[in-house]
Amino acid sequence: MVLQKLAYVTILLLLMSLNKPIQKQYFSISEVATMIGVNASLLRFWEKEFKQIKPKTNARGKRSYNSKDIEIVRSVYVLVKEQGFTLDGARKALKSRKGMGAEVASEARAKAHATQKSMNENLDLKPKFTEDTRLEVMKRLKKVRAELLTFRAEIKG
């Protein structure tokens, strides 16, 4: 009986989580390399060259890139690979707050942000539910809730 109640709670929690879109917070170095279209070794090299790229690392040294890190990596990619900047020039452009460097860095960031947005749309991480599916899930949830309330009443009284 207790296991059955536990199963209902688990199902309820699972169904509740289905309505939330999946947003990945951190990406591995290989995922980022694939997104950008470069090798992981180049990303490690850029980490050394650009102070702004600071992925989190665990105790074993595995890198986890957040969206800010990915945006900076994309900016570096645009500056170095697409616009032909040297590493020193790209570094100065990213650091600079005034003048031409800031404009170029700003353009690179905007392009990187647009690319990131299109990549996220292409990943299609959000589950798609039809109205019928949503209504069916709501119906099931209401039934599970009623059963859980019954179990709660039995436990209390």
Q: What is the pLDDT of residues 108-129, one digit of tens each?
A: 667 766 766 766 666 555 556 6
Q: How many Cβ atoms sit within 10 Å of the Cβ of residue 111?
A: 17
Rg of the chain taking only CA atoms, in angstroms: 24
Which tens digit of pLDDT belongs to each residue from 47-79? Answer: 998 888 889 989 998 999 988 888 888 888 888
Confidence of residue 41 (pLDDT cuts 50, 70, 90): very high
Strands (E), 22-130: 56-57, 63-64
pTM: predicted TM-score of the whole model, two decimal places: 0.53
What is the pLDDT of the chain when averaged over all its residues?
78
Give the pLDDT score at 46.
92
- Close Cβ partners of 76 (under 8 Å, ≥ 6 residues apart): 46, 50, 53, 90, 94, 108
